[in-house]
Structure 1
Amino acid sequence: MAPPSPIVDELKDTPDEASATPVPDAPRLDTAPQQLVAGLLGKADIRINGERPWDMQLHDPAALERALAEGNLGLGEAYMAGAWDCEQLDGFFDHLLRAHLDREVQPARLAWHALQVRVFNRQNRTRAWQVGKAHYDLGNDFYEAMLDPLMAYSCGYWRDADNLADAQRAKLDLICRKLGLQPGMRVLDIGCGWGSLMGFAAEHYGVQCVGVTVSKEQAAWARERYAGLPLEFRLQDYRELDAASLGGPMDRLVSVGMFEHVGRKNHRVYMEVAERCLADDGLFLLHTIGKNRRDSVPDRWIDKHIFPNGDLPSVGQVGDAIDGLFVAEDLHNFGADYDHTLMAWHANFEAAWPRFADALGETFHRKWRYYLLSCAGAFRARELQLWQWVLSKDGVRGGYRRAV
């Protein structure tokens, strides 16, 4: 196997600062690994240096060998380094994942990563703060440019919406209606982000809220934005929560886009925390990205470059976590809507990029584009899901009816 290219070696050392100019000529695929990857891509109807928008434009053949050796970590870092391009990255990943090529390429280097995930608690109380610093504390001005006016950083609800702002407001209102919020209720938001749900619920449903986050930037922004409303924003690990610290059991619990950071070693603990904080007649809405297979391993590129220690749950893992603690009243999947959400974020990101280009650099630009568009392709291919679970402690008397 040929050694990695100098482009990729440079990226390994400085992944967020390095910038490389792609080689203009389309190189020949001279090695067996390169030809093997080209053949695999052909199964997904992806051509190397083809003319369709989802085809790969290859500048350095070593990118194919890294993809074969390291899976998406190698493929993504080669893209960040300028070793290949694609006019429509979301379409590339839709084709790739629809053909399940990720299941055919199982590099030996993934074995250690898989062992770490299964053996170690990668989301313990110390490591849980890493994602706040690495991802959510990038800068509130950056997220203000990419997200909707309410700063909702999770899947919008596009059933009756045709723009990002309306889709996010529809999602927030859907959650409030599913929870049956009434004036005077007390709500706990585990992983409150920039406070979009808390602010919306307080303004439109007359509730009081406590929210916890591991991001200093989020907490500071939310406190300033929602000053004067009956909202409390805490910089706190969810494991520290109990009814006493909240001033008594909460009428409602909600968690939007946070369970992806909990990790399989902590799913049960998380649900135990939720159970002890919720009133006996309360409801808990869990909004989370999910995966189709229980035994899959977190993506190494996402883990290294976007969400440290992330771990998407399966339906079975959520079921195991709530066993004996909660009744699953409702499970709603609108994962296809995340495709629309991510494409809207990407459009905002690209439009705003000139404001951030000098500070963040071209490698970050390519990294963020790869993140947003590869995820859009994964949801489009239905490889990833978005679930809203509604849970109760002992079952809703007479049955639960989903708000639509």
Structure 2
Amino acid sequence: MAKQSVSAMENSERNDTNGRDTTRSDSSRVQTMLADLLALADVRINGLRPWDLHIRDPRAPGRILGFGNLGLGESYMAGWVDIPAVDQFIERVMRAHLDTNPAVGRSWSLIRHAIAARLLNRQSPVRAWAVGQRHYDLGNDFYRDMLDARMTYTCGYWATGVTTLDEAQEAKLDLICRKLDLQPGQRILDIGCGWGSFMRFAAERYGVSCVGVTISKEQAEYGRRLCAGLPVEFRLQDYRDLHESFDHIVSVGMFEHVGRKNYARYMDVARRCLKPDGLFLLHTITGDSSNSAPDPWIDKYIFPNGETPSFRQIAEATEGRFVIEDVHNFGTDYDRTLMAWHDNFTQAWPKYRSEYGDTFERMWRYYLLSCAGAFRSRQLNLLQCVLSPSGVRGGYRRPA
């Protein structure tokens, strides 16, 4: 997938760079324009600091200026640029808001992408399965080596005294259980259950039974083996097809795949499946704008049809459906989680080099490190929202 996409980029880059042809004599002028822009973020071209950008191909400046993060990510994948510390580069660029600078990303393909994200339902029941097939079905062994021991592919909770990724993920899972006040014998729904890390933890530690839905065949099959002998059920099912009653509902890292056209329907499903005295914990990445389009590089290479909601969009979707009892932001913990995943990926990569190839390696490094930088910049955050159908009598108290 990655090699074909980069090849297509090289073949088409002259046709859609906002009028810039970096193969001609004006390439130095375009590089100067890029240098002036990056200077606003204290980034230098071919500098000596870890966050500086190194140009290896003269086509890269025009591609970056014309396509923003899509052009930057593809240039990095193709080896047109190098950045010793991608996370530090992205943090500086985003803190300087260069991603929204009017001089960046004005190609017609990006404009079409932004319009489609606003007008079309890119997460329809038919299209919703694409991310499972292209991302989550990548390989269970690959994810097992990158993630923690429980294979938890969401932000860890680096509470006081937590020093390892395994500890951070268990702290997160336990925090969710305590926020829901789980009691033995209760039946819990996990929307977007992944490999079942939450369900396995909750069943083992809190004595509950769980039903999890996922759109990844690989996750469902592997999760069933991991949870063998526990009161845990995996279903390969779209969340919109749920029509059952549960004591509590949890959704960890799935709302980013729902899309703005479906937020209200998603909340309707959760509301109809939740008992009147139950709680719904929504754990999701959030962005700082309700009007921004999905990141085109992430959409093309990592999470097809994904979209990061804003808190405003979450709040609007709960109106008439839920009371927002608690909102907990620990987005900076995602930076640390992603860096831990990157360390694991780096250590395990020699096992996968022959299978996935060098372009995939650069793509995956850019994914993990650029996301870490985005969370470090605080333009992305991680929220846990506790919702109730009619309000907790006497008020909800977040556990210590």
CA distance in 1, matches of 2:151, 2:100: 35
* SS in structure 1 of the partner of residue 38 of structure 2: helix
CA distance in 2, matches of 1:8, 1:229: 42
Give matches, 1:190-339, under 5 Å.
190-243=191-244, 249-339=245-335
Q: Displacement, 1:34? A: 2.1
Q: Which residue of 1 aligns with 2:100?
A: 103
Q: Which residue of 2 aligns with 1:74?
A: 71
Give matches, 1:28-107, under 5 Å.
30-104=27-101, 105-107=104-106
- 1:224-275 Cα shifts (integer Å, max 9, x gaps): 11111001000000000012xxxxx200000000000000000000000000
Amino acid at match of 2:274: L
CA distance in 2, matches of 1:318, 1:32: 44
2:34·2:65 contact (CA, 8 Å) conserved in 1? yes
Instruction: Provide the alpha-carbon RMSD of the alignment.
Output: 1.6
CA distance in 2, matches of 1:112, 1:373: 27
Amino acid at match of 2:175: L
Q: Which residue of 2 aligns with 1:18?
A: none
Amino acid at match of 2:47: G
CA distance in 2, matches of 1:9, 1:374: 18
Amino acid at match of 1:330: D
Q: Displacement, 1:8? A: 9.2
Q: Which residue of 2 aligns with 1:403?
A: 399
CA distance in 2, matches of 1:250, 1:90: 41
* SS in structure 2 of the partner of residue 35 of structure 1: helix
Unpaired segments ≥5 residues, structure 1: 1-6, 15-27, 244-248
CA distance in 2, matches of 1:331, 1:80: 37
- 1:208-230 Cα shifts (integer Å, max 9, x gaps): 00000000010011101111100
Q: Displacement, 1:62? A: 1.3
Q: Displacement, 1:33? A: 2.5
- 1:154-205 Cα shifts (integer Å, max 9, x gaps): 0000022111000000000000000000100110000000000000000000
Q: Displacement, 1:114? A: 1.0
CA distance in 2, matches of 1:31, 1:163: 46
1:342·1:375 contact (CA, 8 Å) conserved in 2? yes
Unpaired segments ≥5 residues, structure 2: 12-24
* SS in structure 1 of the partner of residue 399 of structure 2: coil
TM normalised by structure 2 equals 0.93
- 1:327-378 Cα shifts (integer Å, max 9, x gaps): 0000000000000000000000010000000000000000000000000000
2:90·2:373 contact (CA, 8 Å) conserved in 1? yes
Give matches, 1:130-169, under 5 Å.
130-160=130-160, 161-169=162-170
Q: Which residue of 1 aligns with 2:112?
A: 112
Q: Are 1:12 and 2:13 counterparts? A: no
Cα gap change, 1:29/1:340 in structure 2, threshold over 3 Å: closer, same or farther? farther
- 1:81-101 Cα shifts (integer Å, max 9, x gaps): 001111111001011101000
Amino acid at match of 2:263: H
2:6·2:74 contact (CA, 8 Å) conserved in 1? no
* SS in structure 1 of the partner of residue 381 of structure 2: strand
Q: Which residue of 2 aligns with 1:246?
A: none
1:289·1:384 contact (CA, 8 Å) conserved in 2? yes
Q: Displacement, 1:31? A: 3.5
CA distance in 2, matches of 1:222, 1:152: 11
Give matches, 1:167-206, under 5 Å.
167-206=168-207
Q: Which deviates more from structure 2 when the two are superposed, residues 65-74 or residues 148-157?
A: 65-74
Q: Which residue of 1 aligns with 2:19?
A: none
CA distance in 1, matches of 2:42, 2:296: 25
* SS in structure 2 of the partner of residue 51 of structure 1: coil
Amino acid at match of 1:265: K
Q: Displacement, 1:67? A: 0.9
